[in-house]
Chains A and B, each alone.
Chain A
């Protein structure tokens, strides 16, 4: 109820929510919105209409035009929505799992364990995400799974930090002592009594991170170490537009559609996650009460 009232009072958050739901719908109904050709091995391979280098403007057959190499932009964007959800949710779920595990072990056992684990976090923080992910994808090969592995390997540290500090705060509260006095084991104490308290901060962090992980993934594709040629992936489609942004002759915007549509897709996707994350934080964080 509070959530609904909040949304109605904050048009921006409402907008974010609606856009996000829109993306979910597109992802769910991708096979209906952009029907794969029967000869396609995987629906994620964007069909191409020939092999010309020059992009073609929107037409009846290709509603959003084609990229260089004649990949259909509309098809790529529709199926790219699924790719974006796979990457965003995949990376964030793995990162949250690893981060929560390490953060809670560090905070619960303290002392040397804590010190060592936090230095490990420091080491991982001392690597720029994009470069580290590039090395890993270059080693593991192109494709979705290597990208998800690479981004989660260097994306879990913030969760570990947040979970650790939350647990340190909660650990000395009376109800924990009470549970311990009752004879509760370590594992049950962590899982049942302490971890649930860290749920909301992690949820906010994860929502915000989903957008930025999709951004990072598309940056990888843009830099050429992401998905395979023609894979329905927004970053890949922006990379295709790179050679054509200066236009042609006296019309500098001749190939606007190659940048505009994929760019808008990424932008709106990330924006919607950020707006929803912002709203969650405002609702859940009592310090920023209205």
Chain B
């Protein structure tokens, strides 16, 4: 166990180094002037013309050799300075800390129902293989797997915003934004629903919830579909095992066989997949956040990427790698609890 953790701890910095080196070399394909433009907060910054540009390139070391610039950047990162992001108009670290609660809130509400739903639906489909329920669930999952998120999201907007005006885009209504930004409202976590409850402000709570529903449904549907597929396949394989036959032969009630012997064992691959899905969701649900105008990590990363805001992209990459590492670690530590046969080495 200890050995396992140590080995993990050695690999993480190696992967992080390689990852940032890769992105950094992409950045270096731009000329020093182009890279300077990414740092310039505004046109007045470059008023001095070519001389000033040259001076700034000199000042920030933008024409230094690759490794010098990389180690400068790395030195800054190690002291907690991720640089300035032009897309967020804020230091990268601040932007990430600011946006994280928004994405976490969205992911929390979408992940839990998809995980529980997937285990439930997948078990049902596996038990009733080739029956009506199974066919319905298969069709549901393959549709979800093939349906483009952006079309689904736009349809949600068309129906629930355009027609019914139930679920508007954004994170909060304008009046609620004012309340949240006001003196009387304390932002404990940055998670709107939680903060509203802690402040005892039910109006803001329901407003936040109302804005969450459409993106949450969109996300849940997509994730539910892919996780249910895995659960179904896994359940089918488990139900063919000898110990299932043994359990039935010794006269256990069918319910116990299915739930205890079948489902518990079939859940293992789902845990791995669910961990990966969770990581990718925390890494920003780019399309969902864009469609519903929901300011989270994904939108920030997409904006940074398409504007070649490399400090932003590098900061995002570090954040995502961190999320991936933590979630993988949790999944690995969960495994021996779910399956006593697994031992960490």
- Is B321 in contact with A126, judged by CB distance below 8 angstroms? yes
> Which residues of A sit under 8 angstroms from B138, Cβ to Cβ?
12
- Give me 16 other A-B pairs in contact (C-beta within 8 A), A224-B306, A267-B146 excluded: A119-B11, A122-B11, A130-B286, A131-B301, A131-B302, A132-B305, A135-B26, A138-B305, A138-B306, A138-B307, A139-B30, A218-B148, A246-B162, A253-B163, A278-B142, A287-B237
CA distance A211 to B196 in the complex (A): 42
Within 8 A of B (CB), among A116-137: 119-120, 122-123, 126-128, 130-132, 134-136
- Is B308 in contact with A259, judged by CB distance below 8 angstroms? no
- Is A252 in contact with B148, judged by CB distance below 8 angstroms? no
Within 8 A of A (CB), among B143-178: 143, 145-151, 154-155, 157-158, 161-163
Can you list 30 A-B pairs, Cβ within 8 angstroms, ordered by A?
A: A122-B11, A122-B15, A123-B18, A126-B15, A126-B19, A126-B321, A127-B317, A128-B280, A128-B283, A130-B302, A131-B286, A135-B26, A135-B305, A135-B313, A218-B148, A219-B149, A219-B286, A219-B287, A245-B158, A252-B162, A253-B158, A259-B155, A263-B151, A263-B155, A266-B148, A267-B147, A271-B142, A274-B142, A275-B142, A288-B237
> Which residues of B sit under 8 angstroms from A245, Cβ to Cβ?
154, 157-158, 162
CA distance A175 to B157 in the complex (A): 59
> Which residues of B sit under 8 angstroms from A119, Cβ to Cβ?
11, 14-15, 18
Distance (whole angstroms) from the CB of B86 to the closest CB of chain A: 14
- Is A238 in contact with B154, judged by CB distance below 8 angstroms? yes
CA distance A128 to B148 in the complex (A): 17
Measured CB to CB, the residues of A under 8 A from B are 12, 119-120, 122-123, 126-128, 130-132, 134-136, 138-139, 211, 215, 218-219, 222-225, 238, 241-242, 245-247, 252-253, 256, 259, 263, 266-267, 270-271, 274-275, 278, 287-288
CA distance A266 to B236 in the complex (A): 31
Distance (whole angstroms) from the CB of B326 to the closest CB of chain A: 12
CA distance A119 to B8 in the complex (A): 12
- Is A134 in contact with B305, judged by CB distance below 8 angstroms? yes
Number of A-B contacts (CB under 8 A): 131
- Is A274 in contact with B15, judged by CB distance below 8 angstroms? no
Measured CB to CB, the residues of B under 8 A from A are 11, 14-15, 18-19, 22-23, 26, 29-30, 138-139, 142-143, 145-151, 154-155, 157-158, 161-163, 233, 236-237, 280, 283-284, 286-287, 290-291, 301-302, 305-308, 313, 316-317, 320-321, 324
CA distance A119 to B12 in the complex (A): 10
CA distance A4 to B263 in the complex (A): 34
Which B residue sits closest to A222, measured CB to CB?
A: B150
CA distance A38 to B168 in the complex (A): 46
CA distance A241 to B316 in the complex (A): 30
> Which residues of B sit under 8 angstroms from A218, Cβ to Cβ?
148, 150
Given known A-B contacts A134-B302, A242-B154, A12 and B142 have beta carbons under 8 A apart: yes
Given known A-B contacts A128-B280, A245-B158, A267 and B148 have beta carbons under 8 A apart: yes
- Is A238 in contact with B151, judged by CB distance below 8 angstroms? yes
- Is B19 in contact with A135, judged by CB distance below 8 angstroms? no
> Which residues of A sit under 8 angstroms from B302, Cβ to Cβ?
130-131, 134, 223
> Which residues of A sit under 8 angstroms from B150, Cβ to Cβ?
218-219, 222, 238
From A224, A246, A274, give the contact of B145 (CB < 8 A): A274
- Is A288 in contact with B305, judged by CB distance below 8 angstroms? no
Given known A-B contacts A123-B22, A259-B151, A246 and B146 have beta carbons under 8 A apart: no
CA distance A266 to B317 in the complex (A): 30
Given known A-B contacts A135-B313, A245-B158, A225 and B306 have beta carbons under 8 A apart: yes
From A120, A126, A211, A287, give the contact of B324 (CB < 8 A): A126
CA distance A139 to B309 in the complex (A): 11
